[in-house]
Amino acid sequence: MKTLESGLVQRMATAGALFLVLLAFGVVGYALIEGWSFLDALYMTVTTVSTVGFREVEPLSTGGQIFTLFLIVFGVGVFFYAFTAVVQIAVEGEVGRLLGVTRMKARIGGLEGHYILCGFGRVGEEISRELKERGTPFVIVDSNPEALQRARRHRYLLIEGDATSDVTLQEAGISRAACLLAASDSDSGNTYITLTARALNPGIFIVARVGQPADESKLKRAGADRVISPYLLAGRRMVLSALQPLMLDFVDTLARGRHGEQMLAELEVTEDSCLADVPVREVHSLCPSATILGIQKEDGRLIVTPRPDEVLVVKDRLMVFGEEEELERLSRRLPVLEEAGVEAKAPAARRERATGV
């Protein structure tokens, strides 16, 4: 788009320069051939170049008539150049826009497990920046022309439309998405977005923004898994910055993801995972460098720094800090670990269920 705009500016500048040269040429020519004043020569040049066809200021000599013929030809040529330049740029711009939309839809259609960001305001722009830095694929959905223009400048994938519409979210790949972030400026809008997304994909993880604390319960009833208040978070961060600045720096450093060979990760315990029915001490034996910072149970209860005898069960979520290679080992399924010669020692309860005892 920038190339097309710069091409239009360059061609129009060239046409304008040629028009000025043509005016100067006509004024000088009439002044020398016919001996007219500057105003008369300029009037005659403009009427000739524009092909308006008013009468001559004075009867033309033979030399003046020949000069006028050349002036008409060159004037029509300059106007034709400017006209074709504008038409060409307009056509190229429209075709380029359509091709760009087609390519973008094809890229969105190839995404799976991506994130859908509804709303590209100040909060949405920050979310996009974080997702891009983390290498997470995402699609922006918005209908505001100014927001769409900003998103295009960043070359983000985007869908223009109402995020509460089934068709719009389907174009964004809601059925294949892993998470939806409702980040519009309106609480009611985020509620409708959440309701629509939950109906289209019951298993999608939804994070919704809320402005008024009273609307938090509505968003949760609508189906949001997490409800975030930017104002509440900002207040907590400011207080923490004042009371425990080092703690805030430490938490921010962890939240940024990778730290050399170590990184912060969230793992879910599934039925075919090597972590199911395994006490925390077994996790340390599999991955000595890994540190389990916390465990979230299925009912939402959070256990910070769990005891070594705490048993992990299916649907537990672990917040783990450790080396990437070892965390990759923890995220693998049980058969893969057994093939690699790593034995996940489960309690007798699991073996009894497997044998029917």
pLDDT tens readout for residues 173-226: 999 999 999 999 899 999 999 999 999 999 999 999 998 888 999 999 999 999
- Nearest CA to 229 out of 239, 221, 219 is that of 219
Query: DSSP letters along 242-268, please?
Result: HH-HHHHHHHHHHHT-EETTEEEEEEE
**Cross-strand partners of 159:** 141
The band of 172, judged by pLDDT with boundaries at 50, 70 and 90, is very high
Residue 144 and residue 175 in contact, taking contact as beta carbons nearer than 8 Å:
no
**CA-to-CA distance for 104 and 108, rounded, in angstroms?**
6
How confident is the model at residue 100, as a pLDDT?
Answer: 61
How confident is the model at residue 91, as a pLDDT?
Answer: 62
pLDDT at 318 over 70: yes
pLDDT at 340 over 80: no
Query: Of the ranges 11-15, 172-176, 343-347, which one carries the lowest mean pLDDT score?
Result: 343-347
pLDDT at 106 over 90: no
Sign (positive or negative) of CA dihedral 199, 200, 204, 205: negative
Taking phi over 0 as left and psi of -120 to 50 as alpha, with beta for the rest, 257 belongs to left
pLDDT at 307 over 80: yes
**CA-to-CA distance for 26 and 42, rounded, in angstroms?**
7
The band of 36, judged by pLDDT with boundaries at 50, 70 and 90, is confident
pLDDT tens readout for residues 248-285: 777 776 666 555 567 777 888 888 777 888 888 888 77
Query: DSSP letters along 22-45, please?
Result: HHHHHHHHHHHHT---HHHHHHHH
Once rounded to an integer, what is the mean pLDDT over residues 92-115? 74
Q: Would you tell me how many other CB atoms lie within 10 Å of the CB of residue 354?
A: 9
Specify which of 212-216, 242-246, 346-350 reaches the highest per-range mean pLDDT. Answer: 212-216
Residue 179 and residue 207 in contact, taking contact as beta carbons nearer than 8 Å:
yes
pLDDT tens readout for residues 69-79: 888 888 888 87
pLDDT at 80 over 90: no
Residue 278 and residue 306 in contact, taking contact as beta carbons nearer than 8 Å:
no
The band of 98, judged by pLDDT with boundaries at 50, 70 and 90, is low
How confident is the model at residue 346, as a pLDDT?
Answer: 38
pLDDT tens readout for residues 107-151: 888 899 999 999 999 899 999 998 998 889 999 999 999 999 999
pTM above 0.75? no
How confident is the model at residue 63, as a pLDDT?
Answer: 86
Q: Would you tell me how many other CB atoms lie within 10 Å of the CB of residue 265?
A: 17
Q: What percent of the chain has pLDDT over 70?
A: 82
- Domains of the chain from N-terminus onward: 2-107 (1.10.287.70), 112-233 (3.40.50.720), 261-355 (3.30.70.1450)
Chain centre distance of CA 237: 26
pLDDT at 344 over 50: no
